[in-house]
Structure 1
Amino acid sequence: MKMEIVEKALIVEGKNDRKLVKKILDEPVDVICTHGTLSEEKLETIIFPIEEMDVYVLVDADEAGEKLRKQLKRELPNATHLYTDKNYGQVETTPINCLTELLSDYFIVKNTCT
């Protein structure tokens, strides 16, 4: 069995966000769920394994998401930040076609998502 080398990491807030983006992605990506907040201890367990990867951040367009984004910008200054439309607010409430379009600029995505 051939091991796939994962070179990209995508940080999201919740389990539903992770499920949704995994439906869209068509390449090996380490999708990391923060569960909303990050303590210093949790942050270290997330950052250490991915600091050599291409890191992307996709969090909700709300106060909690922006707070998390600021924290991640400090800790992972080279990460690419992806933004969902503020009208949708949360990643999980963003229509799948909009998320697919957003992610397709950075990842290989599936042609059709159901």
Structure 2
Amino acid sequence: MIKEIIVVEGRDDTVAIKRAVDADTIETGGSAINAQILRKIELAQQRRGVIVLTDPDHAGERIRKIIANKIPGVSHAFIKEKDATRKGDIGVENASPEAIREALSRAHTAYEAAKPLIDWQDLIEAGLIVHPDASARRMELGNILGIGYCNGKQLYKRLTMFQISREEFVNALEQIEQKGL
């Protein structure tokens, strides 16, 4: 059984989680996350810890930000968009048990007061911003590091929040280069 409580968006996500692992979940009820749900998540964080596993889309990112802003120290797990998509529908409920287990095994805890280990110039030189293939390169980097896809500003923030080391960053870039991106 996973010690932490996994925060998901809805009932179908809970079903998918239960197929993959033995864990308890809290459902946000979609992007209309309310104060009562936030109190539940806060109590769960205090007692057992929380892993946020939302859909890899705009609504999922919105929920993730709300939770992270209200409840410091939660962990974040990210499912690759390609692993969460079925017939054009994106969601945790579409992910295979293996994809869910992989995402959970790579959960990161955000450190709000962290100092950047990777700077803005590193992102430019790596072709992750201001580059014709920047979006595709960020998608691949997010998948390799397990931090999800995001724009350039969010990538900088996530690299800092999750304290991705220079070594992890360089190794991921080498993998991207090997793929020809």
TM-score normalised to structure 2 length: 0.49
Alpha-carbon distance change, 41 to 105 in structure 1, aligned in 2, over 3 angstroms: closer
Alpha-carbon distance change, 103 to 41 in structure 1, aligned in 2, over 3 angstroms: closer
Q: Out of 43, 47, 61, which is 1:48 matched to? A: 43
1:32 is matched with: 26
Aligned partners of 2:6 and 2:24 also within 8 Å: yes
Q: Which has the higher strand share?
A: 1
1:8 aligns with 2:4: yes
Q: Which has the larger radius of gyration?
A: 2
Q: Which has the higher helix share?
A: 2
CA distance in 1, matches of 2:93, 2:62: 18
What amino acid maps onto 1:17 in structure 2? D
Alpha-carbon distance change, 84 to 105 in structure 1, aligned in 2, over 3 angstroms: closer
More contact order relative to length (CA 8 Å, sep ≥ 6): 1
CA distance in 2, matches of 1:41, 1:100: 28
Alpha-carbon distance change, 22 to 98 in structure 1, aligned in 2, over 3 angstroms: same
1:11-58 deviation line (CA, Å, top 9, x unaligned): 0111011011112214xx321111112112332233224423221000
Task: Map 1:1-114; keep pairs closer than 5 Å.
Answer: 7-26=3-22, 29-36=23-30, 37-87=32-82, 88=85, 89-105=90-106
Report how many residues are paired.
100
What amino acid maps onto 2:13 in structure 1? D
CA distance in 1, matches of 2:74, 2:100: 18
Aligned partners of 2:45 and 2:74 also within 8 Å: no
Aligned partners of 2:44 and 2:50 also within 8 Å: no
CA distance in 2, matches of 1:85, 1:101: 10
Consecutive unaligned residues of structure 2, counting only runs of 5 or more, are 108-181
Q: Counterpart of 2:81 in 1: which secondary structure?
A: coil
Q: CA deviation at 1:105?
A: 4.8
Of residues 92-101 and 60-69 in structure 1, the stretch that sits farther from structure 2 once superposed is 92-101
TM-score normalised to structure 1 length: 0.73
2:155 is matched with: none
1:42-94 deviation line (CA, Å, top 9, x unaligned): 32233224423221000001111111000011122211100011223311112
Percent of pairs with identical residues: 29
